[in-house]
């Protein structure tokens, strides 16, 4: 069996895998992506809200995807949160020269083929329909045993990157344990025409009791409606027609949501009832994990696309100027682990906490009343949800706001 050699083997050919491959190819390395599924130009991730948060929007430019920020491909948007304590809204318009000043409603049917094409243009070898069945490390790198439509093949690489998603096969092969956190909400979503977009193409997030109802304006006058709700509520909506009817009635009953009177379905309702968060180590042995293979959190947080792009960026930065052997490999992996654990991982606890519905509603209302009563806190909250600041920074600002509010109340 002949053995083909690469510098970097990326296992998994979705967003995080392609972004990683592009960045390492830009450094001059010979890179291959191994994607187990057959891929066509119409292949894309179906279960996604398409919300690329502000922290990740600038990362598109470095991947050769700056054109996706244009109106023909995506909708520039800002978040409006309708909370138990009031409305939190991002002020101002959109500054094309400052990509992290807004989010993007960028559909995966557009993004996924575009990032694959960008990888190929960069010179990445994209091996679709090729599954990695085993791998073994020696002093000079890795041997990967794979299988494609023509049978088994063997490859060599100096660095292997695990980008094979939340069900990561490499995690099992390499002994990277999965920490599972419960998610007590189910989700339903669908695509519609005939729904008027909010002013400024805002994406509206309505906190209703323990649910979150989301309205995303898309290209071409379409709208994606997403409902994260207690599982018991959705379980009572039975049958395709009844479920759609109850779904639209739910949104129409929200004062902050646009009218559903003219809504025309463009797809069946999709969703899931069981989607626990999964957390793994960012590095096991000499293999880094990126994207959902490292951290797959409750979709209500909207971090999937952003953390996929960010983890790929952090890994590439960690290896910039370092060789893929000996001390360079060891230092790059240590740097990536530190960057991941200090930049991305701190968000996990708060997101997993929001996945639990049994909260004290009075405490929740006091929290949002405090946030909505302070311009500084409102902006910090928006920055947190856009993953522009760390949770600790928001928590410190919140405690200052809470203490200031109590001092003011005492004086009166």
pLDDT attached to residue 357: 76
Parent domain of 136: 3-50+107-181+276-348
Examine residue 79 and state whether it is found in any structural domain, yes or no: no
Q: Are residues 289 and 247 in the same domain?
A: no
Question: What digits encode the pLDDT tens for the residues 362-383?
Answer: 888 889 999 999 988 999 999 9
Residue with tokens 């039975």: 238
Beta sheet of 103-105, edge-to-edge order = 51-52, 103-105, 75-77
pLDDT attached to residue 92: 66
Task: Pick the last residue of a domain from 230, 250, 272.
Answer: 272
pLDDT attached to residue 238: 86
pLDDT attached to residue 1: 58
Examine residue 73 and state whether it is found in any structural domain, yes or no: no
Q: Are residues 34 and 145 in the same domain?
A: yes
Work out how many domains the chain is built from and give that number.
3
Q: Are residues 311 and 240 in the same domain?
A: no
Examine residue 30 and state whether it is found in any structural domain, yes or no: yes
Distance CA 365, CA 14 (A): 39
Q: Which residues contact 371 (CB under 8 A, 6 or more apart)?
A: 83, 85, 88, 377, 378, 381, 398, 401
pLDDT attached to residue 406: 61
Q: Are residues 227 and 267 in the same domain?
A: yes
pLDDT attached to residue 74: 97
pLDDT attached to residue 94: 65
Distance CA 350, CA 12 (A): 28
Q: Are residues 256 and 399 in the same domain?
A: no
Q: What is the CATH number of the domain that holds 122?
A: 3.50.50.60
Examine residue 55 and state whether it is found in any structural domain, yes or no: no
Q: Are residues 217 and 344 in the same domain?
A: no
**Inter-residue contact 193 to 264 (CB < 8 Å):** yes
pLDDT attached to residue 397: 92
Ranges under pLDDT 50 in the chain = 409-410
pLDDT attached to residue 364: 85
pLDDT attached to residue 402: 82
353: Cα within 13 Å, side-chain hemisphere? 9
Q: Are residues 20 and 120 in the same domain?
A: yes
Q: Are residues 116 and 163 in the same domain?
A: yes
Alpha helices, DSSP H only, in 27-88? none
Distance CA 368, CA 256 (A): 17
């Amino acid at each position: 069996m002949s053995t083909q050699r690469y510098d970097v083997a990326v296992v998994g050919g979705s967003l995080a895998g392609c972004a990683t491959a592009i960045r390492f190819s830009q450094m001059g390395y010979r890179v291959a992506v191994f994607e187990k599924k057959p891929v066509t130009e119409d292949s894309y991730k179906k279960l996604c809200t398409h919300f690329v948060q502000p922290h990740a929007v600038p990362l598109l430019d470095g991947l050769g995807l700056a054109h996706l920020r244009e109106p023909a491909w995506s909708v520039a948007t800002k978040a409006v949160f309708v909370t138990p304590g009031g409305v939190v809204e991002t002020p101002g318009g959109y500054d094309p020269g400052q990509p992290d000043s807004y989010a993007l409603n960028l559909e995966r049917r557009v993004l996924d083929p575009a990032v694959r094409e960008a990888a190929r243009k960069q010179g990445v070898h994209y091996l679709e329909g090729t599954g990695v069945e085993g791998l073994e490390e020696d002093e000079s790198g890795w041997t990967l045993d794979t299988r494609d439509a023509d049978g088994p093949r063997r490859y060599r690489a100096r660095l292997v990157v695990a980008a094979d998603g939340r069900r990561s096969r490499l995690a099992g092969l390499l002994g990277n344990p999965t920490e599972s956190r419960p998610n007590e909400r189910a989700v339903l979503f669908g695509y519609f025409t005939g729904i008027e977009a909010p002013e400024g193409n805002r994406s509206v997030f309505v906190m209703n009791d323990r649910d979150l109802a989301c309205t995303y304006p898309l290209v071409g006058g379409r709208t994606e409606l997403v409902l994260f709700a207690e599982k018991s509520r959705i379980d009572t909506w039975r049958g395709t027609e009844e479920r759609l009817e109850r779904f639209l009635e739910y949104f129409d009953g929200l004062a902050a949501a646009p009218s559903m009177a003219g809504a025309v379905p463009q797809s069946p309702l999709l969703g899931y009832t069981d989607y626990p968060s999964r957390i793994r180590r960012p590095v096991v042995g000499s293999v880094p994990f990126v994207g959902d293979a490292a951290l797959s959190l409750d979709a209500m947080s909207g971090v999937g696309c952003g953390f996929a792009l960010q983890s790929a960026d952090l890994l590439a930065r960690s290896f910039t100027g370092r060789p893929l052997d000996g001390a360079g490999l060891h230092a790059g992996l240590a740097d990536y682990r530190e960057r991941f654990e200090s930049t991305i991982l701190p968000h996990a606890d708060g997101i997993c906490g929001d996945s639990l519905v049994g909260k004290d509603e009075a405490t929740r209302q006091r929290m949002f009343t405090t946030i909505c009563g302070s311009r500084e806190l409102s902006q910090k909250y928006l920055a947190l949800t856009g993953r522009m600041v760390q949770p600790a920074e928001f928590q410190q600002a919140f405690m200052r706001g809470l203490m200031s509010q109590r001092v003011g109340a005492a004086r009166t």
